[in-house]
Amino acid sequence: MAERIETSIPRFEAPEKTGGLAQYIADIPFQNMLYARTLRSERARARIVSIDIPQMPEGYITVDSSDAPASNRSHMIEDDWPFFAEGVVNHVGEPILLVVGPDKAEIVRLLSEIEVQYEDLEPVLTIEESIAADKPFFGDRNIMAEYVIEKGDTEKAFGQAEHVFEDEYHTGIQEHVYLEPQGFVAVYEDERMVVYGSMQCPFYVKNVLVQAFGWDEKRIRVVQTVTGGGFGGKEEYTSILAGHAAFASYKTGHPVQLILDRAEDISVSTKRHPSTCRYRTAVDDDGRLTALQAHVQLDGGAYVGLSAVVLQRAMLMAAGVYNIPNVRITGEVIATNNIPSGAFRGFGAPQALFAVEMHLHSLAEKLGEDPLDFKMRNALEKGDTTASCGRMHHEVKLPEMVRTLEHMSGYREKRHSHRKQSSRMLKGIGASLFFHGCSFTGSGEQDKIKAVVKLRKRKDGLVEILVSSAEIGQGPQTTLRKIVSHTLGIPVMRVVYKNPDTDRVPDSGPTVASRTVIIVGALLEKAAADLAERMHEAGEIEVTKQYEQPDYICWDQDALKGDAYPTYSWGANVVEVEVDPATFEIRITGLWGVYDVGTPIDEQVVLGQIEGGMAQGLGYATLEVMEMKNGRPMQANLTDYIIPTAGDYPRMQVALVKNSYEYGPFGAKCVGELPFLGAAPALASAVEHALGQSINRIPVTPEYLMEAVEHDHPIHPEQ
Amino acid sequence: MTIRFTLNSREVEIDTDPLRRLLDVLREDFGLTGVKEGCGEGECGACSVIIDGELANSCIVPVGTVQDAVILTIEGYRETERYRVIEESFAAEGSVQCGFCTPGFVMAAEVLLSKNPTPDEKAIREAISGNLCRCTGYHMIVEGIARASRTGAKLWAKPTDR
Amino acid sequence: MGKTYRPLSLDEALEMAEAENALPLAGGTDLMVQNRSWSGLPPYMKRPVLFIGHLKELQGVHAEGDGLVIASATTLTAILRNERIPSLLKEAVRSIGGPAIRSRATLGGNICNASPAADTLPPLYVLGAELVLRRKNGTRTVPVASFMQGPGKTVLKRGELLTAVRLPAMEPAITFYRKVGTRSSNALSKLSIAAAADSEKGVVTDVGIALGAVAPTVVCSPDAENLMRGRTAAEIRGELYRILDAYNCKLKPIDDQRSSSLYRLKASFRLILSFIGTVLLPALEENT
């Protein structure tokens, strides 16, 4: 193969998607299909005293917790999350029952006639209320998970510290807003339950259904349909919806379609964990960090889901890209009667990285130093130990990245010149440094997932990839095919890769944690290397590979000590803004990013992740407000929940640095989540620079800025 | 109510509740599932169609208001040479990720280029300001449209420009 | 199925509006969202619906004397394409929704929907627009400032339709428009301000300021305007505190899902000062 693997090729599914031919779940007709709509809790916490259901006409039924054949719990890590409320509701929007039938108007009418009698219980709607509650609703303290990560002796270091700094940071809720709302169709036929839908993790769905039905796994089949975006929102919540549709199909004997309306999706599906992070750091006279203490609090909402792992990742990222000899990071996920929080691009890292970057930025300014200089002095290098006493096994390219970044953006000059504010608009520029641990935290890949891939040379000579990785827009249809084609030395058009169907593919793990290329792709590379020796053989050949953890990785899951991740991808961002002094509207005037993602398997796919991740990160930083009022989101539709449009940001300048990873396919690492992480702290630092005002929360809205500035310099006394 | 209109170059007639959303009529009565529902509130543009030469969000158009109108959906448009230029340009520039928003952007691009065959970046961004994308960050879509305007220049040029 | 009517002429429409107390629907961009039901179902309308968007009598812009008449079902896109429309109104219209909304939404719809955040109202107030209301048996004209009584409430009587918007001859020398939206495009207003003025030899001959989304209806202050009318730049500078005070009494912003009352209040003051300080006063000083 003469061409470098990095060279972009047109994405496989682009033509069918562009022409409207791709079939998403709502586009697929099923014979004799029924519709399902959900009756949801109006209360944040209550006992259901009674439900008055009108006489159901012929052909219409309800489905509730009593219809779960074996288990009404959707198993993620724990078994606390019910498909349907069991006499108690713990958040507004919690499913109580479905009405299922052939005519939508009739279903709506029937739903409107159902009356639920609630006995109100005291909800806890904030972290503070939850901690103070004398009757916890989750466990014995409303704590879903808590951990400690420790290295060295922070107390001693603080005792000797020359300078100590303390800060507190808050990050808000974020909704994924994948353009395609969540949806499933379940079909019970020939004693099997087949579930089609928009999802990231076919085997997560299958395993949940196996437990829910109590059947042999051969009787459950899960098929991913073309999926219009996920971002983590279709990682665990999909299991609840699949269960709903499946119970309904089993009960009626018909295919049942359950597709969420956008407003419903925004109001009830999982959201990014809002956080409060408290930092305390010690710095010596040479400008070196000697100790860092951080306390991470996440609001888990009403059910655990994956919150424990989100907390772990947040804590493992909480010391940032910095080499600190003494570290103590504590954290907890607190249960509240809000929408359950779940997976979302970054998975805890955005919250922690926002806090540590802003904290270091702020303390550098207090010390009279440029934040980038201070940060680089303290940055990790190869051989250093991480916060969890793991090792930086690989080259850290931050110095080269920051040099490139400064050159591209003119950061230094602008840090000085923008302060001299000559124009009407207030200009500012800020930078952030960040990283992302590739693939599952700790021993997840080895102990839990144990990914298996298959590569099959067909009789017709085409080679088929058999994995459970889902194309959700991030490019595996293209990148995984390229890996196989380049290894085998065959044209990429001769590699087949269909959307995963659990009947046909092994479990290569979920499409999450930026693991698809680095773990699944690496296994496919190995399989292809084996197959390469046998391509000349006649007939069908199948090669199977299973994940084996590289020897250099050392991890103690109980103590949370050691190499939390096999390797890291790295990023550095600069954001430039103009703030309107009258309205505090923020206009982003410049965006720069330099990234180390190992070898980019396809440059355009990688760039697409970078640009998309940056935009989504900037939305998180400035626009995406979701406020809860009595457990209900105030921004509950796409008119009110604001995501960026094409008019909001300028094009981004991007550079990649080379840093091949020996265990990654062709040297690749990970990129799916990384580019999201640097946006918020770079943006917030830029706004701080523009206003000379400290920022400790996101989203940074004009309202927040107005309140902060007016507090000190009111324009006119209020009425 | 009986409603007659031209749909993808065919004269059609239906007898239906005029308050039904055009989106539902297209998807259910005509099987045109390339027109997507992303929000049902006229905010995301995934349901974009072209009515009498103008972009419209079919999820908030009552079918009773398209009497005698000329309607073009992605299904009709994809038969044209202009579409092929856009499809190629989008593929070349990486404009497509999950694809759910893409047909809507194609229709927005067609409306833009038919009125302004040589748009600058600002004009492109304004023309797609009512279409939401969550995957790309928009830049590659803007480049896709810009490329189409260059490679397909003759196809959109106004008669007086030729 | 909800009842619907499709008249073939304006006269027929007025008959039907009177007889059935029907809800007029032109573009439907507000009504279809406000009344939406489950995907696949038509919206649930509380009253019979009267389609009027197709009526020729309700389309178009034409000159009348020195002024302009905009028929009420003229789409926002058509307004943007018409050269005669005053720039102040165009700026506001340009900021509404995106291209797909503007091609269906109408001026009349924006006015009659009577949202406190309606973007066309502040410029119409400043331009002194008059609304032509027709019933089966008569026509009346009301100043735009008297039309909206509160959120969703207008002076329209049963059977009455807004048929046209009259704009007097006006292209003010000094104009100012700012909409603070939830994002750069396709956004609802947190607040908006439209202002216009004329001057002669450094003295304000006329001035109007209107603020939207900061009270149940559009906010104007004749008291504040009187403090600027007939004055020079220096005199106005001395009155800034009293000017803001006059608006302070009328601003009644709320906290909602888009913004906070504090923000709306303070941003209003700042934008009023911005108009006066960066546009009005320099124009007066140049003009002396």
Q: Note whether B129 contacts C29, CB cutoff 8 Å.
A: no
- The mean pLDDT of chain A is 96
CATH number for the domain spanning C37: value is 3.30.465.10
- Please check whether residues C12 and C151 belong to one and the same domain: yes
Q: Are residues B64 and B130 in the same domain?
A: no
CA distance C268 to C196: 16
Is it the case that residue A285 has pLDDT exceeding 60?
yes
CB atoms B43 and C186 under 8 Å: yes
> Is B91 contained in some domain?
yes
Q: Do A590 and A139 contact (CB within 8 A), yes or no?
A: no
Q: How high is the pLDDT of residue A719?
A: 37
In a shared domain, residues B71 and B85: no
Contact A639 C33 (CB under 8 A): yes
Sign of CA dihedral A627, A632, A636, A640: negative
Contacts of C36 in chain B (CB under 8 A): 40-41
Are both B16 and B62 inside the same structural domain? yes
Q: Is the model's pLDDT at C287 over the cut of 80?
A: no
Q: Do C99 and B127 touch (CB under 8 A)?
A: yes
The CATH number of the domain where C193 resides is what? 3.30.390.50
Percent of chain A with pLDDT over 90: 96
Assigned domain for B162 exists: no
CA distances from C210 to A23, A581, C88, C127, C149 (A): 50, 21, 12, 10, 16
Residues of B in contact with C103 (CB under 8 A): 51, 54-56
Give mean pLDDT, residues A153-176: 97
Q: Indicate if B17 and B68 belong to the same structural domain.
A: yes
Is residue B68 in a domain?
yes
Cβ A475 vs Cβ A612: under 8 Å? no
Question: Do residue C122 and residue C189 come from a single domain?
Answer: no
- Whether chain A has a CB inside 8 Å of the CB on C38: the answer is yes
Q: How confident is the model at residue A2 (pLDDT cuts 50, 70, 90)?
A: low
Domain count, chain B: 2
Contact A648 C265 (CB under 8 A): no
At residue C288, the pLDDT reads 66
Which domain-ending residue is among C135, C167, C199?
Answer: C167
Q: Which helix (H) or strand (E) holds A432?
A: strand A426-437
- Closest Cβ–Cβ partner in C39, C51, C98 for B64: C51
Same domain, C59 and C118: yes
Shared domain for C151 and C188, answered yes or no, is no
Picking from B1, B41, B62, the nearest residue to C28 by CB comes out as B62
Q: Is the pTM of this model over 0.80?
A: yes
Query: Mean pLDDT throughout C181-188?
Result: 92
| pLDDT single digits (tens) A44-70 | 999 999 999 999 999 999 999 999 999
pLDDT at C160 over 60: yes
Which of B55, B75, B95 terminates a domain? The answer is: B75
- Any chain B CB within 8 A of the CB of A261? yes
Distance CA A58, CA A71 (A): 28
* HEC sequence for A512-559: CCCCHHHHHHHHHHHHHHHHHCCCCCCCCEEEEEECCCCCCCCEECCC
**For residue A423, pLDDT beyond 80:** no
Which residue, of C136, C167, C198, is where some domain finishes? C167
Q: What is the pLDDT of residues A79-96, one digit of tens each?
A: 999 999 999 999 999 999
Whether residues A646 and B134 touch (CB distance < 8 A) is answered with no
Using the 3D structure, point to which of B75, B99, B124 is the last residue of a domain. B75
Q: Which domain-ending residue is among B50, B75, B100?
A: B75
User: How far is C107 from chain B, CA to nearest CA, in Å?
Assistant: 17
- Asked if the structure places residue B9 within a domain, the reply is yes
Buried b (16+ CB within 10 A) or exposed e, C219-243: bbbeebbebbbebbbeebeebbeeb
C211 vs A12, higher pLDDT: C211
As a whole number of angstroms, the distance between CA C90 and CA A366 comes to 48
The three state secondary structure string of A311-325 is: HHHHHHHCCCCECCC
Domain boundary (C167, C201, C226) is at: C167
Question: Chain B residue closest to A179 (CA)?
Answer: B38
Looking at the structure, tell me whether residues B153 and B90 fall in a common domain: yes
Based on the fold, state whether residues C42 and C155 are members of the same structural domain. yes
Q: Mean per-residue pLDDT for A563-573?
A: 97
Q: Enter the ipTM.
A: 0.98
Q: Where do we find the tokens 């006015």?
A: C111
Same domain, B71 and B6: yes
Please give the residue range of the domain that contains residue C103.
Answer: 4-167
Mean pLDDT for chain C overall: 96
Q: Within a domain: residue B11?
A: yes
Is the model's pLDDT at A3 over the cut of 90? no
Residue A717 has pLDDT above 60, yes or no: no
| Residue in the block written with tokens 């080499």 | A323
Residues of C in contact with A582 (CB under 8 A): 267, 270-271, 273-274
Higher-scoring residue by pLDDT: A465, C287: A465
Q: Once rounded to an integer, what is the mean pLDDT over residues B85-92?
A: 98
% of residues, chain C, pLDDT over 70: 100
B7 and B56 both lie in a single domain: yes
In a domain, B147, yes or no: yes
The CATH number of residue B92's host domain is 1.10.150.120
Residues of chain C with Cβ-Cβ distance to B18 below 8 Å are 4, 6, 51
Report all structural domains of chain A as residue ranges with CATH numbers, in order of start.
Answer: 14-21+444-546 (3.30.365.10), 31-121+182-259 (3.90.1170.50), 345-438+562-712 (3.30.365.10)
Residues C114 and C137 in one domain: yes
Q: Token pair for residue C185?
A: 């495009």
Q: pLDDT (tens digit, 9 = 90+) per residue, A654-703?
A: 999 999 999 999 999 999 999 999 999 999 999 999 999 899 999 999 99
- Assess whether B14 and B70 both reside in one domain: yes
Same domain membership, residue C154 and residue C199: no
Give how many domains chain C has, as a whole number: 2
Please answer yes or no on whether C271 and A710 come within 8 Å at the CB atom.
no
Range of the domain at B70: 2-75
- Same domain, yes or no: C146 and C231: no
Mean pLDDT of B71-87: 98
Stretch 19-78 of chain C: residues touching chain B, C-beta under 8 Å:
25, 27-29, 32-33, 36, 39-43, 45, 49, 51, 53-54, 77
pLDDT in tens, B19-51: 999 999 999 999 999 999 999 999 999 999 999
**pLDDT for the residue numbered B162:** 41
Q: Which of A35, A583, A718 to mutate to test the interface with C (most CBs of C within 10 A)?
A: A583
CA distance B89 to chain C (A): 23
CATH number of residue B43's parent domain: 3.10.20.30
Residue B52 burial (10 A CB sphere; 0-12, 13-18, 19+)? middle
- Cα A259 to Cα A270: distance, rounded to the nearest angstrom: 16
Beta strands A555-556 and C174-181: pairing type?
A: unpaired
Q: Calculate how close chain B gets to A338, using CA atoms only, in Å.
A: 23
Determine the 3-state secondary structure of A686 from DSSP.
helix
- Contacting residues of B for A635, CB less than 8 Å apart: none
- pLDDT confidence bin for A1, thresholds 50/70/90: low
A193 beta partners: A188, A220
> Do B96 and B45 sit in the same domain of this protein?
no
pLDDT digits (tens, 9 = 90+) for A295-304: 999 999 999 9
Q: Are residues B39 and B89 in the same domain?
A: no
Which residues of chain C have a CB within 8 Å of the CB of A718?
248, 265
Residue A424 has pLDDT above 90, yes or no: no
Residue C259: predicted pLDDT: 97
d(CA A60, CA A103): 9
Nearest CA in chain B to C186: B130
How much is the pLDDT for B158? 78
- Pairing status of strand A275-283 against strand A163-171: antiparallel
Tell me, yes or no, whether C33 and C98 share the same domain. yes
Q: B39: closest CA among C182, C36, C119, A103?
A: C36
Inter-chain residue contact A19 with B100, CB threshold 8 Å: no
Same domain, C27 and C146: yes
Task: Report residue B95 as tokens.
Answer: 């404009």
Q: Do the domain assignments include residue B110? A: yes
Whether C161 and C178 share a structural domain: no
Q: Mark whether C200 and C268 lie in a shared domain.
A: yes
How confident is the model at residue A131, as a pLDDT? Answer: 93
